[in-house]
Structure 1
Amino acid sequence: MTEIKQCSEIKLVGIRVFCPGNEYIEEIPKASKQLSERVHEIKNVLNPSLQHGAFVVDSCSDEEDGYWVCVEVSDYEDIPENMVTLRIPAQRYAVIRHKGSNEKIRDTYSKLHQWIEGNGYRRLMDQWHLEVFHDWSNPKEIEVELMDTIM
């Protein structure tokens, strides 16, 4: 089921993944595992059982290129070594849940994009998009909310 969510500003702390496009399917799970092992180092975590992925589809700058694997925090404090912060502005999203292999996530994104277009919304390709992972321990059986920024 697809729905619309309005989210207020989100503060994230985590690991930036930057690699050739075809390597993200391998590198994101590695970063996710690393973040899971180091989440205890991050202060003010709101929910350690959720991981957030963030990316800009059409990034215009090197600073926005890549993929961020993070946890949400209430405030930034003593950021651990080799971790980054990211502030996502208040935005509106079209949201669909994906359960299954990370290799099939593109199929779910296709359904989401068709729904967006069919319901008269427009994707904001130059804004931050989110993926909220509820289960990421096994790349063959993930559960994630795919959140496409819309107008």
Structure 2
Amino acid sequence: MEGQQSWRPRLSFRSATIMMCLLNLITALLLLQGFLSSATSRSKLSASRLNSAALRYVRESEEIRFAMRPMELIKRVKEIQQETNAKPETVKENDSRQTVAVGLSKRLKDLHSVNDATSFKALEEWRKRKMERARLRQLEKNGTLATQA
């Protein structure tokens, strides 16, 4: 009986709970360490595979981009640039075009200002007629009110 009594105070529910929590914590840490070590070894293997695959992909994409370059268009653009640098006569043509454009813009502005003046006159006449109608209506209302009273 004394042997049984000596064990009871040592093994309480509180101490049993603490022991179980410590065992669970140690187990979790060991599992986590195993998982992380296997993941890093897998990532090292897959990283080397990915690097070679990624490099191959980059090379292929650069080759495709280079093959899709419009070489004829690039040559033609360079020819046009050389032609524009070689011809000073085009400057005179551009100047004449520019003067024509300036003349057209002035004519359009003049036409716009004439239209604005006529529009303004028409608007003023409309306002006068509107005010006159409103004044007549007001007089009619005042007249009908005055006759009813």
Q: Report the TM-score range of the alignment, normalised by the length of the smaller protein.
A: under 0.3
Higher helix share: 2
Q: Which protein shows a greater Rg?
A: 2
Q: TM (normalized to structure 2)?
A: 0.14
Higher strand share: 1
Q: TM (normalized to structure 1)?
A: 0.14
Higher relative contact order (CA 8 A, sep 6+): 1
